[in-house]
Structure 1
Amino acid sequence: MISKSLYFSAVMALACSLGFSQDKKQQDIKSIKSMCGCYEVKFNFTETFQYPKDSLTYKPSETKHESALEWVELLEDTPNKIVMQHLLIVSDDMIIKHWRQDWLYENTDLYSFDKGTSWKYKKLDKKAVKGQWTQKVFQVDDSPRYEGSSTWVHVDGENYWSNVADAPLPRREQTKRNDYNVLKRRNIHEITATGWNHEQDNAKLIRDESGKDVLLAEEKGMDIYTKVPDIKCIAGQKWWKENSALWKNVRDKWQTLFDRHQDLNLEAKVDRKALYSLLFDLKPNATKAETDAIINKFVK
């Protein structure tokens, strides 16, 4: 029979453990939500190493340095799910819906990019994702891009989340490169004193039908988000208020597809048009029936 002192010690240890877990989770949430707001962003990419069979004809991607003003809108804020929409502000009259990131706590449902326009559904083990956050990244039309589950790290003054996930070609390369078909991304989201950094160490892969990968090249990416007053992004905030209902309908439709827990295969184009093009052409008051019908055309 267990003694009262041992029982009390065990209870106290469990309580301390649960308390630490909750404190850690609150740190995680604070870090994730700190990526919201108005930012001046510098996008930097350069190809670092090449491994082509024919080095004489290989053309590496040009080094890229671009800047932008970006508003990150907090769409959902619950204990286990945080949703953030990125908006590029070209001018007061030109706002571009950019990527979206969802953060889910101890999530077990994952869509892993395969190749082309196909994603494989994976069921993760509950024990494997304990204390972890899944980052789900979506394209401008809210279709999937890449997803991964990892632990936020808060130690020695550092504050970051790191993960490796397969992804389609980035938009900056889709119209320029056809010599590889998978980008294996090592993403690091680090919170800084002035905002946050999105650091990437990427591998450009050629994946064949059997799933075998050949490494073609590697690249380094560093996107630096510097926080500025929210008033600078007022145009993005206004645009989102006018268009949020439309894009909620789009997100809701995709969620019904994800909830099937099946592999997802999409058409690249329908009637020679990409999905984002058809959705971007819609008026803010378009109905859910309209957005559902468009997305259905792209689901195989």
Structure 2
Amino acid sequence: MNKLILTLSAIACLGTASAQSKLDQDRTAIKALAGFYKVTFDYAETFSPDTAYKFHDRYHSWGNEWAVIAEESPKKIVIQHLLAISDSMVIKHWREDWVYEEPTMLAYDKDNTWKKVKLAPNNVKGRWVQKVYQVDDSPRYESIGTWTHVDGRHQWQSVSDSPLPRREYTKRNDYNVLRRGNNIYLTQTGWMFEQDNKKIARNEGTDKLISEEKGHEEFTKIDAKAFAYAQTWWNEQKAYWADVRVVWDDVFRTNSTIKLANKLEGKSLYDKLFTLGDQSVKENWASAKNKSEARKIIDKYLNGGVSTAAVK
């Protein structure tokens, strides 16, 4: 009952437009995405222009996920997601940065390649860019949209290209771009991430639609007691990952194109950065060493490389 009262209270605050500016309402809605949740993941293919196409099986999964606000400033809110697998196991999951009136975005092309694009001023005003990152804080996708607060409904919508989702990354090779139709809205017990997606085969600048799918990721608030280990783990690791974010920010700032290798010497980038994080915590590294060591690893996965100068 308490979690429901808290959620309803947050929604009630959003409804008091006279007491909040539009920017304040937006910030309140974004911060309401944080919390302790049971998440259900449901996806089903719905259409294909190819009448001979064989629809893939529906996908269903669930997990306990803690979404914690890692950074907050007037025009930026960083939310880190962590999956609580058990009383002794946690996975640092995806991250979402919400940035207000951001003038540039990383647009996904294909083959683990993102390109920086400049947004027209009239497309930026009053809008939020949601930047979604992989478990190692490398890019996944970015999209821009407007939070709306009408008739008690608080939602944000956008369209964005992205790599294949993790649920199909190792199982499919008939498409290489997922065009996401994102719809995030608050509910009485948490929030919903509803998707209308298109699976696209992109080659030589041409796109071929393979299939469409509907997705629902429902976040329902639950008691925090299931997340005791996740909170302990994050408290130990969060300083290291804050340093990794600084390194990535410098990479994004100094590169117009980001292209990442999938694996080097049989290891993924996340393997290397997670191992580094454990070592940093064990040996109590200073921030400067975290950044220096993380930068060395990230540079190796960047095709073409970037300057390995120390990040200030």
The TM-score, its normalising length taken from structure 2, stands at 0.85
Q: How far does residue 61 in structure 1 lie from its aligned partner after superposition?
A: 2.7
Cα distance 1:49–1:21, how it changes in 2: closer, same or farther (>3 A)? farther
Instruction: Report the CA distance between 1:78 and its aligned residue.
Output: 0.7
What is the alpha-carbon root mean square deviation over aligned residues?
1.7
Take 2:262 and 2:105, find their aligned partners in 1: how far apart are those partners? 21
Q: Which residue of 2 aligns with 1:294?
A: 297
Match of 2:156 in 1: 161
Q: Deviations over 1:202-250 (max 9, x none)?
A: 00000012x1100000111000000123333222111101111221222
Cα distance change, pair 51–272 in 1 and its aligned pair in 2 (3 A): farther
Q: CA contact under 8 A between 2:138 and 2:248: conserved in structure 1?
A: yes
Determine if the alignment matches structure 1 residue 66 to structure 2 residue 61.
yes
CA contact (8 A) 1:246 1:284 kept: no
Is the aligned partner of 1:144 residue 2:139? yes
**1:235 matched to which residue of 2?**
229
| Counterpart position of 2:12 | none
The verdict on how the C-alpha distance between 1:120 and 1:283 changes in structure 2, with shifts beyond 3 A counting, is closer
> Of residues 28, 33, 36 in structure 2, which corresponds to 1:35?
33
Q: Which amino acid in the other structure matches residue 300 of structure 2? A: K
Unaligned runs of 5+ in 2: 1-16, 281-289, 304-312
Q: Residue 45 of structure 1 corresponds to which residue in structure 2?
A: 43
Cα gap change, 1:258/1:184 in structure 2, threshold over 3 Å: closer, same or farther? same
Q: Which runs of 5+ in 1 are unaligned?
A: 1-18
- CA–CA distance in structure 1, aligned partners of residues 258 and 292 of structure 2: 21
Runs of 4+ in 1 over 6 A off after TM superposition: 19-22
Q: In the alignment, is residue 172 of structure 1 matched against residue 167 of structure 2?
A: yes
- Could you report, residue by residue, the CA deviation over 1:36-81 in whole angstroms, capped at 9, with x for unpaired residues? 010011111111112348x2xx543321111110001101111100
Quote the Cα distance in structure 1 between the aligned partners of 2:277 and 2:191: 34
8 A Cα contact 2:246 2:291, kept in partner:
no
Conservation of the 8 A alpha-carbon contact between 1:245 and 1:284 = no
Give the superposition deviation at 1:22: 6.6
Code of the aligned partner of 1:104 = V
> For residues 1-300 of structure 1, what are the structure 2 equivalents within 5 Å?
23-52=21-50, 55=52, 58-209=53-204, 211-286=205-280, 287-300=290-303
Classify the secondary structure of the residue corresponding to 2:24. helix
Q: State the identity as a percent.
A: 47
- How many residues are treated as equivalent by the alignment? 278
State the secondary structure of the residue aligned to 2:215. strand
State how far apart, in whole Å, the 2-side matches of 1:111 and 1:246 are. 24
Kindly state the Cα deviation for residue 285 of structure 1 after the two structures are TM-superposed.
4.3
Q: CA 1:109 to 1:226, structure 2 compared with 1: closer, same or farther past 3 Å? A: same
